[in-house]
Amino acid sequence: MKKIMIDPGHGGDDNGAVYGFVEEDDTNLSIGNLVYLMLQLQSFMVNMTRDKDEKVELSERVNIANQMKPDAFVSIHCDAFHQETAEGMTVHISPNASATSRKLAENIIESMADKFPDHRNRGVKVSNYYVLRNTIMPAVLIECEFLSNPETNKFLKEPENQFDMADAITKGIYKTLKKEG
């Protein structure tokens, strides 16, 4: 049985981006909980770095994942930028990403783009994020959309869109890991 670690970014007094009464940590947790349930329905063993609105330090997130030794680590976030017109979905991998990390990122962004063809696909980007460079398993960090953009902020706070985003992420994970056993 494949094991997945879901990491809903931020939490507790670390809200992440906050725009128009929408807090990133709450959105990340909502999407993360949905991915958790959807993966369980696909017979994956799933754990989360947090399952409520609490702060979990980056080092603790990495330690939780490294101790579990999952087949993949998936960190879920929402983006923000000082220009309100910034938009799009991105999946990040570390500079020393494994082939599985790259394939996971490609499959997730492809699934997201298929589900939301009217949204900008910002693709897979190489980034030196702490959780990506310090986990020992294939790892990705997903930026679901921009909270700083009024249109995508409205999109992200709608429960049906969170469900569809989680479904797209789940399909990308499934496509990558089901073939490996």
What gap in Å lies between CA 111 and CA 139, rounded to an integer? 17
- The structure's pTM equals 0.97
Q: Could you read off the pLDDT of 136-156 as tens digits, one per residue?
A: 999 999 999 999 999 999 999
What gap in Å lies between CA 179 and CA 181, rounded to an integer? 6
Q: Could you read off the pLDDT of 52-107 as tens digits, one per residue?
A: 999 999 999 999 999 999 999 999 999 999 999 999 999 999 999 999 999 999 99
Q: Count up the domains in the chain and report the number.
A: 1
* Helix/strand/coil percent split, the chain, to 5: 45, 25, 30
CATH of the domain at 63: 3.40.630.40
The pair of structure tokens assigned to 125 is: 């980007």
The pair of structure tokens assigned to 168 is: 């797209």
Query: Which residue range is the domain that position 50 belongs to?
Result: 3-180
What gap in Å lies between CA 150 and CA 87, rounded to an integer? 10
Q: What is the mean pLDDT of the chain?
A: 96
